[in-house]
Amino acid sequence: MKNDLVLVGGAGGFIGGHLVATLLKEGRTRIRAVDKKPLTDWWQKHPGVENLSLDLQDLGACRTAVAGAGEVYNLAADMGGMGFIENNKALCMLSVLINTHLLMSARKFGVRRFFFASSACVYAADKQLAEQNVPLSESDAYPAMPEDGYGWEKLFSERMCRHFREDFGLQARVARYHNVYGPHGTWTGGREKAPAAVCRKVIEAKLSGRNQIEIWGSGRLTRSFTYIDDCLKGTQMILASDVEDAINLGSDESVTIDGLVDIVEQIAGLSLTRRYDRSAPKGVNGRNSDNTMIMSRLGWAPSVRLRDGMEKTYQWIYDQMVNGRTHGAAAGLTRA
């Protein structure tokens, strides 16, 4: 297995870059890393890996990427935090071409295992109206009422994986990621998610001496956030498993956005005046991961404490900011 070619789609992004690093540490000798972004904009690049800049929305590019691969990880998507997905629904929907064309190519070239990174944004909106802790089990995706744009793309792509498995025998596995965070990811520019955005805002306040922070929404919205190490371990376990249905991959440690700010303030050693922008994109009121299924099927669930993961994330973003770094290879990454 270790000599099989493994394809990581979206390898220039946050999770994909970490996955390639993990595969290398495990001794995988043949890795093809693919992303639409120019190589100079990848978050991580690694020596000994076939790094390709290809647009996986294109069928021809997918055939080039998949040819010869035994395993495919599809982490590629045009996406970002709530500010991005609420204002770019068409771009998010176009990612359906990525998974569709990768599935077609996987079938054509006889791929053994196929992984699709879905999202908790597939869950029905009427299950997420309360601000208090709302654990979502896998069945809560139906009747369908997902996040407009991004959530619909993910739900449709889940069904494509299911039907390629049922009709063509492709061993496709699907994980619903819940707010993955950690170092080596987007923290500025509009695509960052809440953990990185809060870290950046607190660091800006610390470095500037301003004693205030702007928070999107009321601060009472609840979420769970999954540290990258848990995401990677769960992803590989799910791909290797016999779990054919889409499954939650997320922490069940619920926190309000105000609580998240509390944690980052404690890490930074300061207390800020909070201003709430209730007109900003906020998403659903409450969302958490119900981990009953993953514990039952895999005997494991994400366990990294939010405080521990945020300390590592904060320190990495702080280093980027004080050194004037913003993105990709400019952020001091390993060059191929």
Radius of gyration for the chain, computed over Cα atoms and rounded to the nearest angstrom: 19
How remote is the C-alpha of 72 from its chain's centroid? 16
Residue 292, pLDDT above cutoff 60: yes
What confidence tens digit (pLDDT) does each residue in 235-286 have?
Answer: 999 999 999 999 999 999 999 999 999 999 999 999 999 999 988 877 788 8
| Residues annotated as part of the active site | 150
What confidence tens digit (pLDDT) does each residue in 144-188 have?
Answer: 999 999 999 999 999 999 999 999 999 999 999 999 999 998 898
Q: How many CB atoms lie within 10 A of CB 208?
A: 9
Name the strand (E) or helix (H) holding 328: none
The confidence score (pLDDT) of residue 333 equals 35
| SS3 label, residue 180 | strand
Mean pLDDT, the chain, rounded, equals: 92
Compute the Cα dihedral for 188, 192, 194, 196 and give only its sign: negative
- Amino acid, res. 334: T
Q: How many CB atoms lie within 10 A of CB 323?
A: 10
The confidence score (pLDDT) of residue 327 equals 58
- 309 phi-psi bin (left φ>0, alpha ψ -120 to 50, beta other): alpha
pLDDT band with cut points at 50, 70 and 90 for residue 133 = confident
Name the DSSP letter for residue 164.
H
- Cα gap 91→84, rounded to integer Å: 10
Residue 308, pLDDT above cutoff 50: yes
The confidence score (pLDDT) of residue 131 equals 76
Domain spans of the chain, in order of start: 5-181+226-251+290-303
Between the alpha carbon of residue 298 and those of residues 116, 129, 151, 232, 235, the distances in Å are 18, 30, 26, 14, 11
**133, 222 contact by CB (below 8 A):** yes
Which residue reads 């992004």 in tokens? 13
Angle at 261 between CA 258 and CA 267, to 5 degrees: 145
Percent of the chain with pLDDT over 70: 96
Q: For the chain, percent helix, then strand, then coil, each to nearest 5?
A: 45, 20, 40
The confidence score (pLDDT) of residue 3 equals 78
Homologous superfamily of domain range 5-181+226-251+290-303: NAD(P)-binding Rossmann-like Domain (3.40.50.720)
Contacts of 230 (CB under 8 A, 6+ apart): 249, 251, 302, 303, 304
